[in-house]
Structure 1
Amino acid sequence: MPKKRGFLDRITQHEKLAIRINTDKIPAFPADIQAILSGPHKEPHYFIELMVEGEDNQMIDLRNYKVASSQLLFVLPNQLHWSGRQKQGSKFFNIVFDENCLSLLPQTYRFLLNPLNNSLITVDQQPLKRLSSLLISMSSLLEDEHAGTEILLAYLNAFLTECNTLYFSGHRIEVKSNKLEKYYEFQQYIENNLTHPGEIHSIAEKLAVSTNFLYQIVKQYSGHSPKEFLINRIMLEAQRKLYHEHPSIKTLAYDLGFSDPDYFSRLFKKTVGKSITQFISELKDL
């Protein structure tokens, strides 16, 4: 099995899989792990919280999320994550797993790319019961670190399939449509070619669509033009690097595909709403 990254290898509940389920009834993590989780950190794995009853506050990529009863929040690898504190008496589940777990499952789950830019999902009572039941079953299995891998993965597949259906519930007619498919492909292309994506018309050609069609679908699903989407994604990556790697402005600009650091700095301020210097200063106060 590939080496588990980050601290998940220390808190996993299974001998072969990097996976853990935490609930309001499971004791807290070791102090050093809890310190990492309670402060800003870069998630090396997938994190999903299901709030059955109660309230929690989380922050993802510098954006605050209030997780209320019957809501589900997910955090993706490489996102900046601040774990909140659940309101006393809250009933919840947290599940953490890595890319290797996904590779062992029979399908892909497109919600994990967050194509609709929505990390918080409201869950009706019936799916809430199903999700809770699946997590209870997995948690029970994980009481034995030698639990059957196939059974555990079957439960995980059912859980993620339910999450995927809920994520796209308002877009059921469009899930298999050409529009959403092409938006998904566009999003994947940007992720794979972030530092050298090329011009928008070139991206459209690679996706076998017209520039106008690409504009329409990206605007429909993200609320931004393709160029704005790309710039926002690059600037998000810039913010992550500034937090974790502390590069110089020149190095950061070059790493992200910009040949002119001054232009990069101006674009950062225009997009983020503050200069790089101001952003770094504010990070120190987190």
Structure 2
Amino acid sequence: MNKIDKPHAIPQFNLYGEINESLHRDAEFIHIEDISTRCKKNNWQINPHRHGVLLQVFCMFEGEIKVKLDERHHLLTGSWVIVIPSGFVHAFEISSETKGVVLTIAEHLLTTNHDQSNKDCFTPLLQSPQLIEFKEEDVLLKQLKNYIKQIEIEFNSAETEQYIMLEWLVKATVLTLKRQLHHFDFQAITNNKSYQIINKFRDLLEKNFTKQWPVEKYASILCISPSTLNRLCKEVVGKSPKTTIQHRLYLEIKRRIIYTDDPLDQIAYNLGYKDPGYFSRFFKKLEGVSPRNYRNNKMDL
């Protein structure tokens, strides 16, 4: 991938860089198109960006995709689905032989208007990017292709209640992906109270991590004690809430160092650090180098 000039902020697009403010207000947004339709217009390369309110599902049934998710690079061939929730930086290089579709969904569609047990079915695919592999013999691959085909037909139709049908098909598609990803009993996990609390914690963290809230603040909002939050977080996530908070900040620091040319002091202030020196020490403790050296090293790649 060619070196790309850094913007002043990480590009945040609605759909493929097309600025349309109505999409931010449209909780019912669903879009589908062939990978080739869009990507060949961009020389089969999509530069680093993220989306504010959209979940994107890249379904590749044949070909090759090089995908970058934050700092991690992946080379995928064959049948894969790449699920990218809002807020995550991603980029692609796609071979011209690649066949598949891109399904774009307003996340609001999957997170509201459900009872809690149904809503939690979608959370694993809304919290972090997922790379989901399918084998040709997988029953769920055939099911996925059938849903995709029905979405394409409905998307291009003018039938009455079109959007209701699209909503049902999209939800069936996302649940199919979840089944392929996890292969476990959905009802057991969606009824798990610990899982529900940690999902709420993650959602709070995503919305408030720049405020530098202590663990006690999150626990208070969740109406549990800090020790309970600590125990549940370790059970579900495998690390303490304090570490989870630190790692979210650490990830965002790396994103802004790599994908923007904002001064380091400005990045520190924007992420809630009043002392740039503490910001630098925090980053160096986790990364092993200072923010400045980290940026210089990335510029040389």
- In 2: Cα distance, 1:156 partner to 1:42 partner: 21
Task: Indicate the residue corresponding to 1:59 in structure 2.
Answer: 68
CA distance 1:208–1:103, change in 2 (3 Å):
closer
Give the direction of change, closer, same or farther, for the CA distance of 1:199–1:103 in structure 2 (3 Å limit).
Answer: closer
- Per the TM alignment, residue 55 of structure 1 is displaced from its structure 2 partner at its CA by 4.0
Residue equivalent to 2:131: 120
2:147 maps to 134
Match of 2:223 in 1: 208
The match for 2:163 is: 149
CA-CA distance at 1:220 after TM superposition:
3.4
CA distance in structure 2 between the partners assigned to 1:284 and 1:89 by the alignment? 31
Which residue of 2 is the match for residue 98 of structure 1? 106
Cα gap change, 1:228 to 1:131, in 2 (>3 Å): same
State the secondary structure of the residue aligned to 2:83: strand
Report the alpha carbon displacement of residue 249 of structure 1 after superposing the two structures with TM: 2.0
TM-score, with length taken from structure 1: 0.78
Aligned residues: 274
CA distance in 1, matches of 2:97, 2:43: 22
In 1, Cα distance between equivalents of 2:107 and 2:296: 34
CA shift at 1:259, angstroms? 1.7
**CA offsets, 1:164-188, max 9 Å, x none?**
4444534643332122112111111
What is the DSSP-based 3-state SS (H/G/I as helix, E as strand, rest coil) of the residue aligned with 2:150? helix
Counterpart check, 1:41 vs 2:49: yes
Counterpart in 2 of 1:175?
190
Secondary structure of 1:78's counterpart equals coil
- Contact 1:47 / 1:94 at 8 angstroms: preserved in 2? yes
Indicate whether 1:270 and 2:285 are aligned: yes
* 2:37 is aligned with 1:27: yes
Structure 2 residue runs of 5 or longer lacking an equivalent are 1-12, 21-25
Aligned to 2:94: 85
Match of 2:254 in 1: 239
Preserved contact between residue 205 and residue 245 of structure 2 (Cα < 8 Å): yes
SS at match of 1:84: strand
SS, match of residue 273 in structure 2: coil
Comparing 227-236 and 160-169, the one that deviates more: 160-169
2:199 matched to 1:184?
Answer: yes
Amino acid at match of 1:274: V
C-alpha displacement of 1:237:
1.6
Tell me the amino acid that sits aligned with residue 268 of structure 2: A
Give the TM-score of the pair, scaled to structure 2: 0.75
Question: Helix, strand or coil: the match of 1:47?
Answer: strand
**Identical columns (%):** 21
8 Å contact kept, 1:43–1:81 = no
- Local SS of the residue matching 2:209: coil
Please tell me whether the aligned partners of residues 88 and 129 of structure 2 are also in contact (alpha carbons under 8 angstroms): no
| Deviation digits for residues 3-43 of structure 1 (CA, Å, limit 9, x no counterpart) | x93546589xxxx964433436x534463xx2695222223
Does the 8 A contact of 1:53 with 1:91 survive in 2?
Answer: yes
Task: Give the conservation status (yes or no) of the 8 Å contact 2:212–2:272.
Answer: no
The verdict on how the C-alpha distance between 1:256 and 1:127 changes in structure 2, with shifts beyond 3 A counting, is same
1:61 shift after superposition: 1.2
Counterpart mapping for 1:211-230 below 5 A = 211-230=226-245
With over 3 angstroms needed to count, the CA separation of the structure-2 counterparts of 1:199 and 1:101, relative to structure 1, is closer
Range with bigger deviation, 47-56 or 224-233: 47-56
1:70-115 residue CA offsets vs partner (Å, 9 max, x unmatched):
43221122211111324x655433212334655787564212432x
Q: Is this contact kept in 1: 2:209–2:249, CA < 8 A?
A: yes
Q: In 1, Cα distance between the equivalents of 2:44 and 2:61?
A: 25
After superposition, residues 153-168 of structure 1 pair within 5 angstroms as: 153-168=167-182
Equivalent pair of 2:84/2:129 in contact (CA under 8 Å): no
Letter in 1 for 2:255: R
Which AA in structure 2 matches 1:211?
Answer: P
